Amino acid sequence: MQNRVDTRRGLLIILSSPSGAGKSTLSKRLREWDPTIEFSVSATTRAPRSGEEDGVDYHFLTEDAFKETVAKDGMLEHAHVFGNFYGSPKAPVQKAIENGADVLFDVDWQGAQQISRSSLQDHVLSIFVLPPSIKELRRRLESRGQDAAEVIQKRMSKSWDEISHWDGYNYVLINDDLDTTFERLKAIISAERLKLSQQPGMMDFIRGLHQEFTEVEE
């Protein structure tokens, strides 16, 4: 009897949310649940900070090298932020998904749009995480104790612009309970991994079944 096909292509998993909605915690749980999920390492033109390692924290590029990569369609998404360029190199992501590994992206809605329109768009799984209420979003930001009041206000002011792009994603999750949201997130990823577009060996498997059926009939 022919064996079941287990090989698959990887997914480009995009997680976006306003600050405080739970994206970072969900990303951490995802990689604990499945350590084979890789985290996309961004490229940047800013100088390395103390302790940062090239290829681990960022791919550190000169501005000319970054622009050349963009010109050659080598970035899945890129942006100019506070005087420096940031982007997601395509080559390592393409290699990973061809080898059946999922790659996790922590980008905003603009980055998500660019990746979803890239040459790897057929393998994109985009998920937006919403807070249960704006009041709860503020409470979470304040309870972290990491930011000054003016920083929290800036994050809150930016949150509505981010939330307004919710309909550009494949899935939207309301994070009113972290454990429940995480279970739903796992279910989404597990199902998307089984889509026919992610199973390149299925056609050969079907051909094998047809050949086997023909031999049995003879």
From 112, 124, 109, 121, select the one nearest 77 (Cα to Cα): 112
For residue 99, the one-letter residue type is N
pTM of the model: 0.85
Integer CA distances (angstroms), 52 to 21, 26, 84, in order: 27, 24, 17
Please tell us whether the domain made up of 12-40+102-217 is placed in CATH 3.90.245.10. Answer: no
Q: 179 exposed, middle or buried (CB, 10 Å; 0-12, 13-18, 19+)?
A: exposed
The residues, ordered by sequence, that sit 6+ positions from 96 with a Cβ below 8 Å of its Cβ are 10, 38, 102, 103
Length of the chain: 218
- Measured from the Cβ of residue 19, the count of other Cβ atoms closer than 10 Å reads 20
How is the chain split into domains, by residue range?
12-40+102-217
pLDDT tens digits along 17-44: 998 899 999 999 999 999 999 999 999 9
Phi, psi (degrees; rounded to nearest 5) at 201:
-90, 0
Q: How far apart are the first and last CA of the chain?
A: 17
pLDDT tens digits along 136-175: 989 988 887 777 888 888 888 888 899 999 999 999 999 9
